[in-house]
């Protein structure tokens, strides 16, 4: 079984919506890193050295490759990434090898067979 790593940076207010969309599209779980900071085309505003931008969460999802594109698209839709600038980004990268996912492989086997 081959996996993709989907990396999402999303406004913390939309994290749960994005996670729900990812799960509905086939993701079996995620790691959420809270209180990250992102910067887009223009630098963020500060006040006395403190950032005035909203906090973002980083989501890491190891997704079976047959589900990855759908998960990526659903995440972008739920996070409204293309509608509003600065709401978040998502990308996927190939994973050469992964350990500790035997339980996911068992859960995914029948789903992937149905898809193929």
The domains of the chain, with CATH numbers, are 3-39+51-115 (3.30.70.120)
Q: Find the mean pLDDT for residues 68-85.
A: 93
pLDDT, tens digit, for every residue of 39-60?
A: 766 666 666 665 556 678 999 9
pLDDT of residue 101: 77
pTM over 0.85: no
The 10 Å CB-count burial string (b at 16+, else e) for 74-100 is bbbebbebeeeebbbbbebeeeeeeee
């Amino acid at each position: 079984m081959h996996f993709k790593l989907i990396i999402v940076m999303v406004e913390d207010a939309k994290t749960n919506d994005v996670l729900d969309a990812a799960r509905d599209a086939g993701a079996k779980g995620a790691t959420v890193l809270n209180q990250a900071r992102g910067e887009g085309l223009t630098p963020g505003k500060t006040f006395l050295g403190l950032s005035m931008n909203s906090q973002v969460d980083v989501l890491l999802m190891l997704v079976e490759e047959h589900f990855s594109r759908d998960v990526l698209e659903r995440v972008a839709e739920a996070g409204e990434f293309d509608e509003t600038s600065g709401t978040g980004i998502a990308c996927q990268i190939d994973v050469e090898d992964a350990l500790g996912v035997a339980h996911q492989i068992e859960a995914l086997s029948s789903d992937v067979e149905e898809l193929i």
